[in-house]
């Protein structure tokens, strides 16, 4: 079965139409005031100064050294605008009929920034290194080669630009699990014997990391030998400014040209910045969804109808409009509405407060039950958990459910979650590889992390069978049917539901053009221009 | 007591203090809810499977009993190794080593500015015969010190950095970057120093030798510099060590606001990640700094004021 980048199914079209309205409003597009800048020419030697909320370089012990946002390293397979796998440093790939042998053809004419050729030997060295360091934590994503590459039986070059991975058993998820971080390419000379980097690694991306200081800055320079379209700025200085109000002050003071990347601006500050005529504010959808989980293993939410009642009572439109200030899209399914490839409207829970009361009465009669909702204050990361928790407390009271709110710091919350000392909890997940198993296999499978490590306790035989089948199925249409049914089960059984799909705000001075954010929060450094 | 005996006694007390502080710190961090392995694996927002969590806990040695973990840590510390960070996997000595100097820069600059401002204003207030000056300066300082330092910091950023654009709003690397964080940190210690100076100078002003100096017709500033300040200096110098500890504690918030790459920002991340080796290393280093500062101030006080040495005997 060969990879077909342009394969579009009827279901995909329908799903696309279903969320078409979303497409129109996704991303409050950047203001277009002050169009006089459009007559100016971009300065191709410009230095762009960016303010970000977190370190995007993390040093030699990190499995990737830098975040993909910096566009320093490139993967074999990257995710497209709909989170679909698209060829990058691997030009194409195919899997054998028995599903055991994956053959990858590499892009020719690519060299690492240290002059080393990009070829099969380099790729194999990197995969072997990733296996060597597994598991390796990172603030970006944990390197776990078992998930990334599946049950490898053999890894070998066929020629200079072709290599193959042979599995012990079929692993159809490979093109998704290998995407982005898990197939990031570095020069083979970049590694120490223990798998750490020896210094700033040599890479193939449109930018080269020249210098960095942890917690302070990263300096990127255009890779003038880049194999693809070369960037439109010569240099990017990325400054780490952890405090949200300091970031906004730096933008207003002209110390940075733009604030971009995950959590760069809080919604309230974005709204304030919109009044500044010199600054353009935008918000683009990202792959993170905020969820509300039920503890299905203990009362009261081991009762399906009570979970359904709460789900029906929550007005996700209103929460997104008022509390999230429009920086999101109301939760439509466990799978993000922003990725039309797998989304199904069948996974959208109904909003019906009257039916919610009827369902709750049918279970509780005149009894009242208590439920604990622990949460961490997410205000610093633009997540208004406290406000949403207060709203939930109010709207489920008529159902006979008294929610006790418990504000904890993040580590204590993780502990409470891990011990199952909760009835309701918030959770967020970025759809890292664009495959539905990443989310549905986590939330709906009885052996998924949400139900084991986090003690969600949801168990449904049909869901278990579907998840297992989805992990083996290689045909797209049949996989879509499996995951559509799983989304439907989620809407019916409500072990968890999506509150909203996030948008991330960014802002820049008017002299900056073509700066946006992709679904995986990667800023468009490859196309940005400074006038 | 000879100076050597004095030094030995202080060193023994310092060592005991550090051991006690490290045990308390180790116990407190471990008593707090939160599994460092889980937090490290969840850094990226993904929940690990139970198998991965168990494997990682084993890798980190977190399955050993607490006393065993403590003894292992102490053994390493004695050999000059503060261990490895659970979150970052880097040596703690490297993580904190690259951040000690920025924190010291901030702390020492704040100590200098706040001491100078507090002493000058304190002397002015103490010598002032106009009640208005005393009340006005003291009230202004009390009001300023009542604002939390993070609010002062934000106000300074907006006014001096953003509106006037006189200095950078945040960052590190040049003397200009020091100005706003030092100002934000200096207000509270300067107010304390002012009050202490005023009270010490006032009590010295009531002494007979000052009256004698005045009766000789000496100028007020001569009396202040030659006679009053040396006599009032002992309690001021003694307070510097304590003040230095308070300033270091205050840097925790200020470093985050001003993106100052000091130890405080590292320890905040470590606390929320239950990264015991980094927290313990931080406590050990700051504890040592505070103990050394107190020791030096005691020593200087002893040299400046012979009454202290006499008292020690």
Give the CATH number, domain containing residue A259: 3.40.190.10
Nearest residue in chain B measured CA to CA from A454: B47
pLDDT at B252 over 80: yes
What the block records as the tokens of A237 is 């200085």
Domain span at A319: 285-503
**Residues B100, B288: contact at Cβ < 8 Å?**
no
A255 and B169: CB-CB below 8 Å? Answer: yes
- How many domains in chain A? 3
Same domain, A210 and A313: no
- DSSP H helices, A164-242, are 174-177
Is the per-residue pLDDT at B32 higher than 60?
A: yes
In this prediction, residue A447 carries a pLDDT of: 96
Does one domain contain both A270 and A300?
Answer: no
Report the pLDDT value the prediction gives residue A28, as an integer from 0 to 100.
46
Closest CA to A229 of A531, A525, A530: A525
pLDDT in tens, A401-425: 999 999 998 889 999 999 999 999 9
**Looking at chain B from residue 119 to 178, which residues have their Cβ under 8 Å from any Cβ of chain A?**
154, 157-158, 161-162, 165, 168-173
- On whether both A140 and A78 belong to a single domain, the answer is yes
Q: What is the pLDDT of residues A292-345, one digit of tens each?
A: 999 999 999 999 999 999 999 999 999 999 999 999 999 999 999 988 899 999
Cα–Cα distance list, B237 to A253, B123, B197 (Å): 40, 15, 10
Confidence of residue A76 (pLDDT cuts 50, 70, 90): very high
A325, A445: one domain: yes
| Residue A336 and residue A454 in one domain | yes
**Residues A249 and A293 occupy one common structural domain:** no
Can you say whether the dihedral through the CA atoms of A276, A279, A284, A286 is positive or negative?
Answer: negative
Q: pLDDT tens digits for A471-490?
A: 999 999 999 999 999 999 99
Mean model confidence pLDDT for chain B: 86
**A387: domain CATH number?**
3.10.105.10
Joined together, the tokens standing for residue A446 give 């009885």
- Most confident range (mean pLDDT) of B173-187, B232-246, B270-284 is B173-187
| Contact check, Cβ <8 Å, B47/A142 | no
What value does the mean pLDDT take over residues A104-126? 97
Q: Are residues A482 and A341 in the same domain?
A: yes
> What pLDDT, in 10s, does the model give residues B65-108?
888 888 888 888 888 888 889 888 899 999 999 999 999 999 99
Closest-CA distance, A313 to chain B, in angstroms, reads 28
Residue B112 confidence (pLDDT) above 50: yes
Question: What burial class does residue B78 get, using C-beta atoms within 10 Å of its C-beta: 0-12 exposed, 13-18 middle, 19+ buried?
Answer: exposed
Looking at chain A from residue 93 to 152, which residues have their Cβ under 8 Å from any Cβ of chain B?
135-142, 144
How much is the pLDDT for B146? Answer: 84
Q: What distance in Å separates the CA atoms of residue A445 and residue A468, rounded to the nearest whole number?
A: 9
Return the pLDDT at A22.
41
Cβ separation B272–A409 shorter than 8 A: yes
A449 in contact with B at a CB cutoff of 8 Å?
yes
Out of A427-441, A449-463, B1-15, B247-261, least confident range: B1-15
Q: Are A400 and A261 in contact (CB under 8 A)?
A: no
Sorted by where each begins, the domain ranges of chain B are 22-92, 101-311
Tell me how far CA of residue A397 lies from CA of A75, A298, A373, A402, B274, in angstroms.
50, 19, 14, 6, 36
- Given the DSSP bridges, would you call strands A90-95 and A369-376 parallel, antiparallel or unpaired? unpaired
Give the Cα separation of A346 and A484 in Å (integer): 7
For residues A247 and A257, membership in a common domain is answered with yes
Beta strand A162-167 pairing with A101-106: antiparallel
**B229 or A150, higher pLDDT:** A150
Domain-embedded: residue A12: no
How many CB pairs below 8 A link A and B?
134
Q: Which residue has the tokens 């709110």?
A: A405
Position A154 scores a pLDDT of 97
Are B169 and A249 inside 8 Å of each other by CB?
yes
A330: phi then psi, degrees, rounded to nearest 5:
-50, 140
The answer, as to whether pTM is greater than 0.90, is: no
**Fold type of domain B101-311:** MetI-like fold (1.10.3720)
What CATH number does the domain containing A103 carry?
3.90.76.10
Q: Which helix (H) or strand (E) holds B173?
A: none
> Do A334 and A463 have their domain in common?
yes
Q: Is 80 exceeded by the pLDDT of residue B217?
A: yes
Contact B35 A414 (CB under 8 A): yes
In a domain, A16, yes or no: no
Q: How far apart are the first and last CA of chain A?
A: 47
């Amino acid at each position: 079965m060969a990879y077909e980048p342009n394969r579009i199914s009827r279901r995909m079209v329908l799903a696309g139409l279903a969320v078409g309205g979303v497409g129109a409003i996704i991303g409050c597009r950047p203001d277009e005031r002050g169009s006089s800048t459009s007559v100016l020419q971009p300065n191709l030697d410009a230095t762009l100064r960016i303010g970000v909320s977190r370190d995007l370089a993390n040093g030699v012990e990190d499995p990737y050294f830098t975040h993909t946002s910096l566009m320093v390293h490139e993967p074999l397979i990257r995710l497209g605008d709909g989170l679909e796998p698209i060829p990058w440093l691997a030009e194409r790939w195919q899997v054998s009929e028995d599903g055991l042998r994956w053959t990858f053809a590499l892009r020719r004419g690519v060299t690492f920034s240290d002059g080393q050729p990009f070829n099969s030997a380099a790729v194999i060295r990197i995969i072997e290194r990733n296996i060597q360091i597994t598991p390796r934590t990172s603030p970006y994503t944990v390197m776990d080669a078992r998930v990334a590459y599946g049950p490898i039986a053999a890894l070998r070059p066929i020629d200079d630009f072709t290599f193959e991975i042979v599995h012990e058993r079929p692993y159809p998820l490979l093109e998704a699990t290998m995407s982005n971080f898990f197939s990031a390419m570095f020069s083979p000379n970049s590694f120490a014997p223990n798998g750490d980097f020896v210094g700033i690694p040599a890479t193939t991306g449109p930018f080269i990391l020249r210098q960095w200081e942890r917690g302070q800055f990263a300096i990127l320079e255009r890779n003038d030998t880049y194999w693809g379209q070369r960037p439109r700025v010569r240099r990017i200085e990325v400054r780490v400014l952890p405090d949200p109000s300091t970031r906004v002050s730096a933008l207003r003071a002209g110390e940075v040209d733009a604030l971009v990347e995950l959590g760069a601006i809080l919604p309230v500050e974005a709204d304030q910045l919109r009044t500044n005529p010199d600054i353009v504010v935008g918000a683009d959808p990202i792959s993170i969804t905020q969820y509300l989980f039920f503890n299905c293993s203990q009362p009261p939410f081991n009762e399906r109808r009570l979970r359904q009642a709460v789900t029906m009572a929550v007005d996700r439109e209103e929460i997104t409009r008022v509390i999230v200030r429009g920086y999101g899209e109301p939760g439509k399914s466990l799978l993000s509405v922003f990725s039309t490839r797998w989304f199904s409207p069948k996974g959208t829970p109904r909003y019906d407060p009257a039916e919610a009361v009827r369902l709750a009465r049918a279970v509780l009669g005149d009894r009242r039950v208590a439920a604990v909702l622990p949460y961490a204050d997410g205000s610093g990361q633009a997540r208004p958990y406290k406000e949403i928790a207060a709203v939930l407390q109010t709207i489920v009271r008529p159902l006979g459910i008294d929610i006790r709110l418990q504000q904890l710091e993040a580590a204590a919350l993780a502990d409470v979650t891990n011990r199952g000392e909760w009835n309701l909890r918030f959770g967020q997940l970025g759809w890292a590889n664009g495959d539905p198993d990443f989310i549905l296999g986590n939330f709906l499978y009885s052996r998924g992390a949400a139900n084991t490590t986090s003690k969600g306790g949801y168990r449904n035989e049909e869901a278990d069978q579907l998840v297992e089948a989805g992990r083996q199925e290689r045909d797209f249409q049949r996989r879509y049917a499996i995951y559509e049914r799983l989304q439907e089960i989620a809407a019916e059984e409500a072990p968890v539901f999506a509150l909203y799909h996030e948008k991330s705000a960014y802002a820049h001075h008017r002299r900056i053009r073509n700066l946006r954010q992709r679904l995986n929060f990667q800023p468009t450094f490859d196309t940005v221009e400074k006038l | 007591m000879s100076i050597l005996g004095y030094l030995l006694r202080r060193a023994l007390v310092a060592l005991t203090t550090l051991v006690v502080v490290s045990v308390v710190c180790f116990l407190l961090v471990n008593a707090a809810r939160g599994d460092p392995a889980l937090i490290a694996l969840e850094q990226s927002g993904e929940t690990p499977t139970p198998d991965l969590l168990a494997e990682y806990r084993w890798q980190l040695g977190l399955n050993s009993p607490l006393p065993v973990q403590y003894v292992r840590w102490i053994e390493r510390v004695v050999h000059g190794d503060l261990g490895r960070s659970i979150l970052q996997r880097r040596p703690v000595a490297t993580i904190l080593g690259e951040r000690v100097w920025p924190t010291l820069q901030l702390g020492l600059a704040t100590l200098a500015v706040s001491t100078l401002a507090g002493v000058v204003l304190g002397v002015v207030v103490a010598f002032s015969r106009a009640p208005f000056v005393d009340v006005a300066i003291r009230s202004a300082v009390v009001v300023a010190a009542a604002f939390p330092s993070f609010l002062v910091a934000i106000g300074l950023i907006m006014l001096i950095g953003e509106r006037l654009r006189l200095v950078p709003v945040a960052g590190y690397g040049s003397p200009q970057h020091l100005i706003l964080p030092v100002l934000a940190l200096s207000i509270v210690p300067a107010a304390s120093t002012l009050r202490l100076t005023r009270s010490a100078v006032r009590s010295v002003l009531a002494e007979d030798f000052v009256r004698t100096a005045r009766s000789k017709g000496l100028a007020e500033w001569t009396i202040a510099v030659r006679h009053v300040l040396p006599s009032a200096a002992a309690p001021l110098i003694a307070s510097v060590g304590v003040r230095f500890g308070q300033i270091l504690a205050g840097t925790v918030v200020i470093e985050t606001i001003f993106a100052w790459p000091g130890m405080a920002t590292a320890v905040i991340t470590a606390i929320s990640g239950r990264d015991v080796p980094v927290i313990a290393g931080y406590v050990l280093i700051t504890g040592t700094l505070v103990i050394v500062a107190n020791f030096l101030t005691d020593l200087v006080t002893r040299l400046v004021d012979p009454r202290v040495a006499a008292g020690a005997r």
